[in-house]
Amino acid sequence: MVESGAAGVPARVFDYDAELRRYQRRLWAALELRPDDTVLDIGCGTGQLTRDVAGVATRGSALGVDISPVMLEQARRISADTGVHNVRFERADAQVHPFPPAHFTLAISRFGTMFFADPAEAFANIGRALRPGAPLVQVIWQHADRQEWVTEIHRALASDGPAEVDGSAFSLADPDETTGLLTAAGFTDVAIAEVREPIYYGPDPDAGVDAVLPLRMTNDALARLGPGETERALERLRAVMAAHCSADGVWFDSCAWLVTATR
């Protein structure tokens, strides 16, 4: 996600690939890729997963869709530099985009399906784009109160008690509701399993602070503070990063769901 700067912080692209490296492996292990697959990656970001999939689907292809033009530009540039030719990227909202019907043999998403304005419509649209029997495999966040990175960052930046957490990233946290959405959209064999991995924010505390500044929740919290308060909040944030720093970098606990379903 690309965030606007706050408190003098310049806008830039957040590095989800670094943050979610452990979840990338868990999602990858759940895929059964074939050389002829035609894959849709929903919320592809800078396209790491899309490129990895295309590298296996050598006789097929991979399409990554996202709403961020900056991330898609980076995805295309990296793909061109690495010589991956059976991959392409398109700016599209998967909720309403007119995908070719019954076209894809697999749909995947690494934390890219929680932000739909109408998830029922979105999953129905994704379902129409899949061939009968095609799987949908995604990882989504559990509730915010199960995310150490959320509670710790908010605690550091709050000036007068706990700040309200933007719930959009956790909109699919209830497994029963998610199962119901997928079933109503025409999916079967819905299975939801807990996956718990730490997420990464850089090699040291300063890098950790720098890593989370582009996040909306960090920007929103800093925007509510005055100049003096901002400086103290950033000092508290650095202390939190230091408390979570070990020999291999800054890590925070997190909890997600691995969701599989069949069209």
Convert the pLDDT of each residue in 113-163 to its tens digit. Answer: 999 999 999 999 999 999 999 999 999 999 999 999 999 999 999 866 555
Closest to 180 (Cα-Cα) out of 256, 116, 104, 259: 259
State how many domains the chain has.
1
Convert the pLDDT of each residue in 83-109 to its tens digit. Answer: 999 999 999 999 999 999 999 999 999
Would you say residue 7 has pLDDT above 50?
Answer: no
Let me know if residue 175 belongs to a domain.
yes
- pTM score of the predicted model: 0.91
> Contact, 41 vs 63, CB < 8 A?
yes
Convert the pLDDT of each residue in 205-225 to its tens digit. Answer: 999 999 999 888 898 888 888
Let me know if residue 3 belongs to a domain.
no
Return the CATH number at 239: 3.40.50.150
Whole-number Å distance between alpha carbons of 224 and 238: 19
Closest to 194 (Cα-Cα) out of 213, 178, 216: 178
Q: Residue 17: in which H helix or E strand, if any? A: helix 16-19
**Greater confidence, 213 or 7?**
213
Let me know if residue 161 belongs to a domain.
yes
> Contact, 139 vs 111, CB < 8 A?
yes
Residue 134 structural domain: 9-262
Which three-class secondary structure state does DSSP give residue 71? helix
